[in-house]
Amino acid sequence: MNRFMKVHQCPLLLVWVCAVQHSFMWIHPVYAQEKQCTAKDPRSCMATKDEEFVCGLYIAKSTIPNAGLGIFTGVDHDIGDVVAPLEIAHQILLGFDGISEENNHLFGHPRFGTSLFHHYAWNSYVSGGEFEASYVETLIPGIGMASNCFAPLINSRSIMGQSIDTAGLYSSGNVGPGAGAFSAYHGMTYVADAAMEAGEEIFSDYGEAYFRGRPHVYGMIPLSNEFDKADKMTKALWEALPTEIKTMKNLFQWQPTWDVIREQFVDDERTRNALPTKVEDVQRFVELGSAGFFLRGDNPRSLEWLDENGYCMDTLDIRPSSIPNAGRGAFAKKKFAAGEKILPLPLLQTSRELLKIYAGDKDDLESAEVHGHQLLLNYCFGHSESSLLLMPYSSTASFINHLQSGAANAKVVWADSKADPTGLHQEKWMALSVDEILEKSHSGLLMHVVATRDIAVGEEITIDYGTAWEEAWKTHEADWSMADSHLSASELNTIEDAIRTIFEEPYPSGVATACHYRSGATRDENNAADNPNNQQSEGKLQIEFVERNAFQWVDYGGRGTMSGEYFRPCKVIARHSDPNEGTVYTVKIDNRPIHPEWDQNPAKDQLYVKNVPRRAILFIDEPYTSHQHYKMAFRHEIGFPNPDEMWPLAWMDLEVDEE
Query: Which pLDDT belongs to residue 253?
Result: 83
161 and 309 co-located in one domain: yes
Least confident span in 111-115, 337-341, 601-605: 601-605
DSSP conformation letters of 619-639: EEEPTT-SGGG-TTS----B-
312 and 418 co-located in one domain: yes
Cα distances from 592 to residues 128, 515, 566, in angstroms, run 10, 11, 10
268 and 349 co-located in one domain: no
Give the pLDDT band (50/70/90) at residue 373: very high
Query: Which pLDDT belongs to residue 651?
Result: 97
Residues 645-649 have a mean pLDDT of 96
389 and 514 co-located in one domain: no
Q: Return all residues near 261 (Cβ < 8 A) that are at least 6 apart.
A: 237
Question: Is the bond leading into 300 cis (omega within 30 degrees of zero)?
Answer: yes
326 and 458 co-located in one domain: yes
650: in domain: no
69 and 194 co-located in one domain: yes
Give the pLDDT band (50/70/90) at residue 103: very low
Residues 414-418 have a mean pLDDT of 95
Of 186-200, 250-264, 294-308, 458-472, the range with the highest mean pLDDT is: 458-472
**Do 406 and 414 form a contact (C-beta atoms < 8 A)?**
no
14: in domain: no
* C-alpha atoms less than 13 angstroms from C-alpha of 552 in its C-beta half-sphere: 7
329 and 442 co-located in one domain: yes
Overall number of domains in the chain: 3
Dist. CA 68–CA 60, nearest whole Å = 8
Give the pLDDT band (50/70/90) at residue 608: confident
Last residue of a domain, one of 436, 468, 500: 468
Dist. CA 34–CA 22, nearest whole Å = 24
Residues 345-352 have a mean pLDDT of 96
Query: Which pLDDT belongs to residue 170?
Result: 62
Q: Which residue has the higher pLDDT, 262 or 101?
A: 262
Query: Which pLDDT belongs to residue 19?
Result: 33
Query: Which pLDDT belongs to residue 540?
Result: 64
In terms of phi and psi (left: phi > 0; alpha: psi -120 to 50; beta: otherwise), the region of 84 is beta
Dist. CA 469–CA 477, nearest whole Å = 12
**∠ at Cα 161 (156, 167), nearest 5°?**
145
401: in domain: yes
Last residue of a domain, one of 275, 294, 313: 294
CA 227 to chain centre: 27
Least Cα distance to 576 among 615, 612, 540 occurs for 612
30: in domain: no
173: in domain: no
Least confident span in 58-72, 139-153, 194-208, 549-563: 549-563
Residues 367-383 have a mean pLDDT of 91
Beta-sheet pairing, 567-578 with 410-414:
unpaired
Domain that holds residue 226: 211-294
Of 186-195, 337-346, 470-479, 514-523, the range with the highest mean pLDDT is: 337-346
Dist. CA 634–CA 627, nearest whole Å = 11
Burial class (CB in 10 A: 0-12, 13-18, 19+), 363: exposed
Query: Which pLDDT belongs to residue 13?
Result: 28
Residue type, 557: G
Residues 127-139 have a mean pLDDT of 88
Residues 507-512 have a mean pLDDT of 89
Q: Which residue has the higher pLDDT, 561 or 11?
A: 561
Least confident span in 119-133, 551-565, 622-636: 551-565
Element (H, E) at 244: helix 243-246
240: in domain: yes
**Do 543 and 574 form a contact (C-beta atoms < 8 A)?**
yes
DSSP conformation letters of 390-445: EEE--TTGGG-EE--TTT-SEEEEE--GGG-TT----GGGGGS-HHHHHT-SS--E
Dist. CA 400–CA 391, nearest whole Å = 14
Burial 208-236 (b: 16+ CB within 10 A, else e): bebbeeeeeebbbbbbeebbbbbbebbee
245 and 309 co-located in one domain: no
Predicted confidence (pLDDT) per residue in 135-185, tens digit? 899 999 999 999 988 878 899 988 887 777 676 666 555 677 888 888 888
Cα distances from 382 to residues 111, 394, 416, 604, 652, in angstroms, run 20, 17, 20, 51, 10
Dist. CA 266–CA 273, nearest whole Å = 10
Query: Which pLDDT belongs to residue 201?
Result: 96
CATH code (residue 356): 2.170.270.10
Query: Which pLDDT belongs to residue 335?
Result: 96
Dist. CA 495–CA 389, nearest whole Å = 38
414 and 371 co-located in one domain: yes
Q: Which residue has the higher pLDDT, 25 or 456?
A: 456
7: in domain: no
Burial class (CB in 10 A: 0-12, 13-18, 19+), 264: exposed
534: in domain: yes
Query: Which pLDDT belongs to residue 179?
Result: 81
321 and 396 co-located in one domain: yes
Query: Which pLDDT belongs to residue 411?
Result: 97
189 and 129 co-located in one domain: yes
Residues 560-583 have a mean pLDDT of 86
Beta-sheet pairing, 57-61 with 311-312:
antiparallel
Give the pLDDT band (50/70/90) at residue 16: very low
Last residue of a domain, one of 272, 294, 316: 294
Predicted confidence (pLDDT) per residue in 459-507, tens digit? 999 999 999 999 999 999 898 886 666 677 888 888 888 999 999 999 9
Query: Which pLDDT belongs to residue 321?
Result: 84
Q: Which residue has the higher pLDDT, 459 or 608?
A: 459
Dist. CA 197–CA 315, nearest whole Å = 20
Query: Which pLDDT belongs to residue 206?
Result: 82
- State whether the Cα torsion 147-148-149-155 is positive or negative: negative
**Do 62 and 68 form a contact (C-beta atoms < 8 A)?**
yes
In eight-state DSSP terms, residue 283 is H
246 and 336 co-located in one domain: no
Query: Which pLDDT belongs to residue 493?
Result: 85
Q: What is the pTM of this model?
A: 0.84
DSSP conformation letters of 204-226: ----HHHHHT-HHHH-S---HHH
Least confident span in 103-112, 148-157, 236-245, 572-581: 103-112
